Amino acid sequence: MSDRIAHAGLRGKVMTADEAAQFINHGDALGISGFTGAGYPKALPTALANRGKELHAKGEEFAVDIYTGASTAPDCDGVMAEADIIRYRMPYQGDPALRKSINAGKAKYQDIHLSHSALYIEQGFLPIDAAIVEVTRITEDGHLIPSSSVGNNVEWMDNADKIIIEVNSWQSEELEGMHDIYRIQHLPNRTPVPINAPGDRIGTPYIDINLDKVVAVVETNAPDRNSPFKPLDETSKAIAGHFLDFLEGEVRAGRLAYDQYIMQSGVGNVPNAVMAGLLDSKFENIKAYTEVIQDGMIDLIDAGKMTVASATSFSLSPEAAERMNNEAARYRKNIILRPQQISNHPEVVRRVGLIATNGMIEADIYGNVNSTHINGSRMMNGIGGSGDFTRNAFVSSFISPSLAKDGAISTIVPFASHIDHTEHDAMVIITERGFADLRGLAPRDRVAKMISVAHPEYQPLLEEYYERALKTAPGMSTPHDLRTAFDFHVNMIEKGSMKG
């Protein structure tokens, strides 16, 4: 038995994943750990999937509701979706098998702002029966040392009737001390979150739980879903360059200083390109108050450019994950992992004054942004934390290449086919063509700027649409020609290209 389970009582509850899976019943609502492929349970999902297959083969029902922090991995969401045991899922996902199930109408999916998801359980909007949570160690006192993410783990375990703990010896024990666990008070007795700067610590380095709820402890030794990032291409570098140009403009305007940049960044290759650009920039003493720490932030810390990175999770390449596992003690002074209710808390986001940068599927000529749905109907991943940060940021920005699918798709469209972030929230839109600064502009004044960041192949089509809208719209505040507003999307569905 692993020496990572120091509590005598919990050592007596060690069992296999298959044995632990017997505590889960058909129809149960499960709160599981995991956020952007980090810190998710490695054994129970497969055990539950196998149990589901066995029961289905006998003609018996077995399906569960799954709540997480955010996305997990193929060996978590994926195996359960393939076994057809996910009945309902929230608040965010990114697995191809689960996405297929959602878009086929099998699994029901509620896409929720990540800072709101724990509230659904705490206030009884949704039930929870069991929590399945990965940790890196259990102390002699029964305190849980989280692994590579915190997510909603605290709230799941506080509210579940049963708790199953996975102790993963692959995760570095030196992560201990990196976490900052703080519980938000229940309504109506809630008080302000006492964070004034990204580096503030306000809680404990462990999670304390009701040990009587623990029904099983399972030992594992498996890595997170550490996916490699693609090499930086010219488009990503161009987007990063325009973002840095925007930051330089903010410095010249006196709204930002080279040593006062507080960042929030979404996940992916383009945000990583932005951080690579910051390595050679004039910006120093960079701080992050964000939800995910990825490779680019680790590189900025190593270069001495970033002093604090506060988040709820890692999302690292295999190389960066190995570096973190080997040197976690060195990074503890720079990195804080918090519950996602805190990392994404609108109150704190507004107070610290960060610049938010997130990806998008498309934006329309007035600055409405679609982060979630292809052609208005097909779910991609979800809104994630982009809404938490966008509406409350000092400056909100969205970044994307101007084209997708080898030019068949324009990311700048006449009318967004689904709107997650309205024109009231999106301030800056950036593509490889440049940046559209929409601050202070009435809707019609935004159009030329938005068309300027579209690809030249689509600019004439967008201009034609706008001219038509000016002639046919029943009002001139935000002119639209509703007869042709979605022609780009209809062309894509029917002809395979938005150009028709």
The single-letter code of the amino acid at 445 is D
Per-residue burial over 241-260, b if 16 or more Cβ lie within 10 Å, else e, is bbbbebbeebeeeeebeeee
Written as six digits, the tokens of 264 are 């929030």
What's the maximum distance between 2 C-alpha atoms anywhere in the chain?
77
- What are the residues whose beta carbons fall under 8 Å from the beta carbon of 283, sequence distance 6 or more? 247, 258, 259, 261, 305
Please confirm whether the linkage preceding 91 is cis (ω < 30° from 0). Answer: yes
- Flag whether 405 is marked binding: yes
Residue 381 is assigned to a ligand binding site: yes
DSSP, res 279:
H
385 is in an annotated binding site: yes
Q: Which of 122, 134, 291, 423 is catalytic?
A: 291
Q: Is 266 marked as binding a ligand?
A: yes
Check whether 387 is labelled as a binding-site residue. Answer: no
- Which residues lie closer than 8 Å to 442 by C-beta, 6 or more apart? none
Q: Could you tell me the two tokens for 56?
A: 């289905």
Do the annotations mark residue 376 as ligand-binding?
no
DSSP string, 24-63: --TT-EEEE--BTTBS--SSHHHHHHHHHHHHHHTT----
Active site residue 457: no
Q: Which amino acid is it at 145?
A: I
Q: Which of 116, 117, 73, 79 is nearest to 93 (CA)?
A: 73
Two structure tokens written together for 2: 């692993």
Known binder of ligand: residue 268?
Answer: yes
Q: How far apart are CA 474 and CA 16, in angstroms?
A: 66
The answer to whether 51 and 21 have CB atoms below 8 angstroms apart is: yes
Alpha-carbon distance of 215 to 68, in angstroms, equals 20
209 Cβ neighbours under 8 A, 6+ residues apart: 142, 144, 157, 158, 163
**Residues forming a β-bridge with 144:** 138, 207
Alpha-carbon distances, residue 470 vs 197, 444, 475 (angstroms): 47, 10, 9
Residue 414 is encoded by which pair of tokens?
Answer: 């006449």
CB neighbours of 273 closer than 8 A, spacing ≥ 6? Answer: 232, 236, 237, 239, 240
DSSP state of 222: -
Provide the terminal-to-terminal Cα distance of the chain, rounded to the nearest Å.
63
214 is in an annotated binding site: no
What is the rounded distance in angstroms from the CA atom of residue 200 to the CA atom of residue 158?
24
DSSP secondary structure letter of residue 74: I
Task: Please check if 374 is assigned to a binding site.
Answer: no
Q: Which residues are annotated as a binding site for CoA?
A: 266-270, 361, 381, 385, 405
Q: Which residues are annotated as a binding site?
A: 266-270, 361, 381, 385, 405
**Residues labelled catalytic:** 291
